[in-house]
């Protein structure tokens, strides 16, 4: 969090509000957001309907018009794709072209192709603006008596993913 805070406050200065045009000047923020979508996607699955003929992949036959669930939660934790998949490491996105826009199968929190979430462009911009504003305008700490290693990162499975135990962070003015 300190790297992100340093970047945001250095680029924006003390009295400026975060604007959309600032986001391109904040590469570490962009990496943090991508890593957050990898590590905690909005939902565990994206769906696809298999058009065309039946196909065989290895020993599995996927029939025409089958509904396919793609487990993006598992893809985000696959060690054959991501080194140290259980660690939150935004640096993995600093020197790569991988994005969340559906072109890179290893990171598809909004889906891909014709059925990509239509709200993705707005949601993606808003996440950057909100996170940058929260980091720029507040210092954050855990509730008294909670150490960083005590924060539970487990999730509760459902249509969307929620933390099993909600994180409680305390904002203060810098």
16-50 burial: b if 16+ Cβ within 10 Å, else e: eebeeebbeebebbbbbbbbebbbbbebbebeeee
Give the residue ranges of the annotated binding site.
117
- Taking alpha carbons only, the member of 30, 35, 34, 40 closest to residue 7 is 30
Give the residue ranges of the annotated binding site for heme.
117
Task: Please list the residues that pair with 68 across neighbouring strands.
Answer: 48
* Other residues' Cβ atoms within 10 Å of the Cβ of residue 140: 12
């Amino acid at each position: 969090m300190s790297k992100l805070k340093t970047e945001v406050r250095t680029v924006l200065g003390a009295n400026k509000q975060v604007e959309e045009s600032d986001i391109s000047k904040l590469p570490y923020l962009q990496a943090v957001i991508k890593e957050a979508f990898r590590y905690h996607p909005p939902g565990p699955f994206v769906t696809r309907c298999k058009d065309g003929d039946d196909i065989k992949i290895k020993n599995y036959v996927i029939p025409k018009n089958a509904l396919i669930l793609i487990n993006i939660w598992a893809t985000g934790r696959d060690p054959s794709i991501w080194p140290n998949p259980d660690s939150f490491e935004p640096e993995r996105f600093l020197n790569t072209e991988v994005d969340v826009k559906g072109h890179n199968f290893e990171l598809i929190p909004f889906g891909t192709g014709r059925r990509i979430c239509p709200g993705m462009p707005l949601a993606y911009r808003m996440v950057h603006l909100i996170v940058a504003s929260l980091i720029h305008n507040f210092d954050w700490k855990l509730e008294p008596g909670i150490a960083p290693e005590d924060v539970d990162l487990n999730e509760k499975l459902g249509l969307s993913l929620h933390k099993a135990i909600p994180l409680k962070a305390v904002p203060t003015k810098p």
